[in-house]
Structure 1
Amino acid sequence: MKRVSVELVPRDEESLRAELALLQQYKDKIDVINIPDLLRFETRSWQGAAMAKEYFPQAMPHIRAMDINLAEELPMKDYLREHDIREVLVIEGDPPQRMTHAVYPTESTDVIRKFREEMPEIDVYAGIDQYRSSMREELYRVHRKVQAGAKGFFTQPFYDMRYLEMYADMLDGLDVYWGVSPVMTAGSQSYWERKNNVVFPKSFEPGLEWSVAFSREVKDWAEKNGENIYLMPIRTNLEEYLAGVFATL
């Protein structure tokens, strides 16, 4: 396996540092911490990434394309350099709930190019949403992002190994972090189905046991094939989930 990335939500400094401290027991297994940029929290992703770098050698903040005004310099440029943050993940971003937050008609490819021009020392990754449209249309988006300068990609979470392997065949040769995320309740399952168009396999069961087993299956596949994985422990007990994923038989 190449690298393991774990996503931590920066709800506040205290909770983020508590989770980073908890992850220290897996420091030899985790390579990079991903920090999403969620506007309902005060801590921005690059601030959370700076905290994460106090515990892990690499941290990757998410950058929302719609927050970037192409007429101005990257607003987090100096902060990234000051804290030696050398990787970012550019995503489209969801519209803000508060209309006081300014957004722009900026696309991910625009921001990827802007990083290439203003911060060529930064490795820029982009997102793959395997549920938003057809595989052909998503592959076209991937090619556009590669042309813009994306070094690699992070997928939305998979829940079916057959679907993951179809994408792996299509994206052969690209540096991809294959996403997995636990779904703990029927309500969460319904959310993924309604909002993200996920089709769960017949064998799926919401809960920790199925989620850990599938995450381990993807991890074993990644180890066998020299791939990266992206663990997103959303709305679950972080300690129990990672203990199951990294357990040795």
Structure 2
Amino acid sequence: MRISLELVPRDSEGLRAELELVQAQFPSINTINIPDLTRFELRSWEATRLSKSFYKDSIPHIRAMDFDADEPFVLAEYLDTHQISEILVITGDVPKNSSKPLYSTTCLDLIAKLKREHPHLKIYSALDPYRNSVRKEYEYVQQKLNAGVDGFFTQPFFDLRLMTLYSEMMEGADIFWGVSPVVSESSRRYWETRNHVVFPKDFQPTLEWNIEFSKQALAYTKQTNSNIYFMPIKVDLQAYFDGVFSKVLV
């Protein structure tokens, strides 16, 4: 079972400090995944190079729109040199201020290209239960599987019933289930407005509620022989993970 933590690479010094803390305090975590946020100078693959000095299993997010599908994949040599063998391919959002070129490459395009030209790479992509109907998301997942994707990272879940539904639908797939604590009303509104999340009736934007749900998700992940990743935003890591990992065998 793999337990991943998503760390935002604001700068090298901050990332190194977070990696040292996580490694020392939370031994249950064995994988790191790193988003590629264009507002920061440190790109995900550069951050992953640093992360791999702490965690062998480190997975950068790769934005498909940053690469020309008709040209050689410019990161191939970098990934091989630094023994980065797993990546998460997403389409990406158009940055507000950037002079760097963007392409019409979709995640399907890049997945197919990489599996064809660099088959040794293990490629994950996203599963988002909120952007479409269940049927449309399932069809999109099938397109990604047909393109050659090896597994999925989901958008964070807040309802075990929805998680169970997708688990049954995705039986046999290599999945990292996403969990992200939401501990304020403003954060809740963000998830509802930006990501179209429908929270369960019993949801409360408190650390206690989120710890209890995270523990349930972790137990379900173990039960289904799948993986999980945590995306803690604006929350005390020590308090959150002390609660999540207490009395849970992982």
State the TM bucket, normalised to the shorter chain: over 0.9
Long gaps (5+) in structure 1: none
Check conservation: 2:9, 2:42, Cα contact below 8 A.
Answer: yes
- Structure 1 contact 7–34 (Cα < 8 Å) conserved: yes
State the Cα distance separating 1:47 from its structure 2 match: 0.6
Matching residue of 1:3: 2
> Equivalent residue for 2:63?
64
The number of residue pairs the alignment matches comes to: 248
Determine the C-alpha separation between the residues in 2 that align with 1:172 and 1:71.
34
> Equivalent residue for 1:78?
77
Post-superposition offset of 1:115 = 1.3
- Give every structure 1 segment of 4 or more consecutive aligned residues whose post-TM-superposition deviation is greater than 6 Å: none
1:175 aligns with 2:162: no
State the match for 2:35 in structure 1: 36
Q: Which runs of 5+ in 2 are unaligned?
A: none
Return the offset for 1:99: 4.3
The amino acid across from 1:133 in the alignment is: N
In 2, are the aligned partners of 1:92 and 1:108 still within 8 Å (CA)? yes
Residue 111 of structure 1 is matched in structure 2 by 110
Equivalent position amino acid for 1:222 in 2: T
- SS of 1:221's partner is helix
Matched ranges for 1:1-249 at <5 A: 2-25=1-24, 28-248=27-247
Measured against aligned partners, the alpha-carbon deviations of 1:35-66 in whole angstroms (never above 9, x if no partner) come to 00000001000011111100011100000111
Letter in 1 for 2:103: Y
TM-score w.r.t. length of structure 1 = 0.96
Q: Which moved more, 1:72-81 or 1:197-206?
A: 72-81
- Which digits, 9 at most, give the CA deviation of each residue in 1:74-133, with x for residues without a partner? 121111111100000001111111142321111111111121123211100110111001
The answer to which of 80-89 and 110-119 deviates more is 110-119
Deviation digits for residues 173-225 of structure 1 (CA, Å, limit 9, x no counterpart) = 11111110011210010010011110001111112111111111100111122
Change (3 A) 1:146 1:128: same
Report the TM-score, using the length of structure 2 for normalisation. 0.95
Distance in 2 (alpha carbons) for counterparts of 1:43 and 1:193: 29
Q: Give the secondary structure class of the aligned counterpart of 1:132.
A: coil
CA contact under 8 A between 1:22 and 1:239: conserved in structure 2?
A: no
Looking at structure 2, the residues matched to 25 and 196 of structure 1 have their Cα atoms a distance apart, in angstroms, of 33
Identity level (%): 46
Q: Cα deviations across residues 139-182 of structure 1 (Å, max 9, x unaligned)?
A: 11111111111110010000011111111111111111111001
Question: What amino acid is the match of 2:16?
Answer: R
1:126 alignment partner, SS class: strand
Q: Give the Cα separation in 1 of the matches to 2:209 and 2:67.
A: 39
